[in-house]
Amino acid sequence: MRSELPPTLGLVLAGGLARRMGGGDKSLLTIGGKPILERVLERLSPQCVEIILNANGDPNRFAGFGLAVVADEIPDFAGPLAGILAGLDWAAARGRGIEWVASVPGDCPFLPKDLVRRLHAARLEAGQPLACARSGEWRHPVVGLWPVDQREDLRRALTQEGLHKIEIWTARHGVAIAEWPERPVDPFFNVNRPEDLAEAEHIAVQHPGI
């Protein structure tokens, strides 16, 4: 499946402050004995040529996962667009012909195993340069596909305009939507609060194959 896609870098976004969880790294919380980040990597790795992690602070806390850890260059926790820019810059600097970055949150333990393929299919069918996911009535702008050649425009938006809302930036360029059902399990269920972690444990038990 991966060989049929344009070379795509996977970007796990874990640079937030997790205020609703009381701080810390949500991606390191465990579900069914596995860190959420391990579950994310199990799903995303077969779909991408490489995966990096966007996180701020001491990168050694992620040392056990064998990932390059890339911090935001935009200061003061500027939001997911800053993490996406860091991933685009990293891909460009590698010089390996990677023209696309697929981003996912680090707190989504049930990501689709066909995510990258369907994001590419959606943007090709719609003739748009960007793509993001939707499940049911909910759009997930952080679960998206980003062309590396858009990084300078994104940098200007962040540094000169102070723009931090993903939907405003993507609307300027055109974004396709790839859709998934939200039943029996929303593949983009994310762990924001302690009660979400308990719900994710329940889902993992009830739907072990997901």
Question: pLDDT (tens digit, 9 = 90+) per residue, 146-184?
Answer: 999 999 999 999 999 999 999 999 999 999 999 999 999
Q: What pLDDT is recorded for position 98?
A: 95
Question: pLDDT (tens digit, 9 = 90+) per residue, 30-49?
Answer: 999 999 999 999 999 999 99
Q: What pLDDT is recorded for position 95?
A: 77
Q: Is the pLDDT of residue 50 over 50?
A: yes
- Three-state SS across the chain? CHHHCCCEEEEEECCCCCHHHCCCCHHHCEECCEEHHHHHHHHHHHHCCEEEEECCCCHHHHHHHCCEEECCCCCCCCCHHHHHHHHHHHHHHHCCCCCEEEEEECCCCCCCCCHHHHHHHHHHHHCCCEEEEEECCEEEEEEEEEEHHHHHHHHHHHHCCCCCCHHHHHHHHCEEEEEECCCCCCCCCCCCCHHHHHHHHHHHHHCCCC
**Stretch 20-24: mean pLDDT, rounded?**
52
Q: What pLDDT is recorded for position 1?
A: 44
Mean pLDDT of the chain: 92
Provide the percentage of residues in the chain whose pLDDT is more than 70.
94
Q: What pLDDT is recorded for position 17?
A: 55
Q: Is the pLDDT of residue 22 over 90?
A: no
Query: Could you tell me the fold of the domain covering 6-206?
Result: Spore Coat Polysaccharide Biosynthesis Protein SpsA; Chain A (3.90.550)
Question: pLDDT (tens digit, 9 = 90+) per residue, 59-90?
Answer: 999 999 999 999 999 987 778 999 999 999 99
Q: What pLDDT is recorded for position 21?
A: 45
Question: pLDDT (tens digit, 9 = 90+) per residue, 99-112?
Answer: 999 999 999 999 99
Q: What pLDDT is recorded for position 16?
A: 62
**Stretch 7-33: mean pLDDT, rounded?**
80
Q: What pLDDT is recorded for position 23?
A: 56
